[in-house]
Amino acid sequence: MGNRKISPDLKLAAIRLHERGILTTREILDCVGFSRRTFLRICKLYRETGDVVKLRSEYIGRPRALNLEDVAYLTELIAHRPDWFLDELAGLVQRNRFISLHYTTIHRELCRAGISLKKLRKVAKERNEDVRADFMRRMA
């Protein structure tokens, strides 16, 4: 019956019963249905952290290729000139930030930053001089 999820409420109830001396350890283990080793591990975690569940680490998984400063640099480049292609942005990042990236990585980071291709096209269209002149002519 190993490797099953035990609810945090059940773990906390078992610890409280043990701390208050209401039941013996054997009686607690019979009631809650987990092993002595599991109970001791939960008690140790509770003593060390004050919680019965391990906190998930923020750093689980592969580290990001770009840090926040690099993403800010990319967004500044996009704001300055939104008609750049992703491979051109990769070249700029490699020359100026010394980070070799694939264009899909840049696309993924821009999506995480809230910049989509649709937004890029819209900004690029707004910066087009012919479209802007046509708009000014229609408004005048």
DSSP state of 82: T
Q: Number of folded domains in the chain? A: 2
Per-residue pLDDT tens digits for 17-70 = 999 999 999 999 999 998 999 999 999 999 998 999 888 776 677 888 888 899
> Does some domain include residue 97?
yes
How far is 140 from 138, CA to CA, in rounded Å?
6
d(CA 105, CA 110): 9
- Residue 60 domain flag: no
- Model pLDDT, residue 119: 60
| Within-domain flag for 2 | no
Judged by DSSP in three states, 74 sits in: helix
- pLDDT over threshold 70, residue 102: yes
pTM of the shown model: 0.47
Does residue 96 sit within a domain? yes
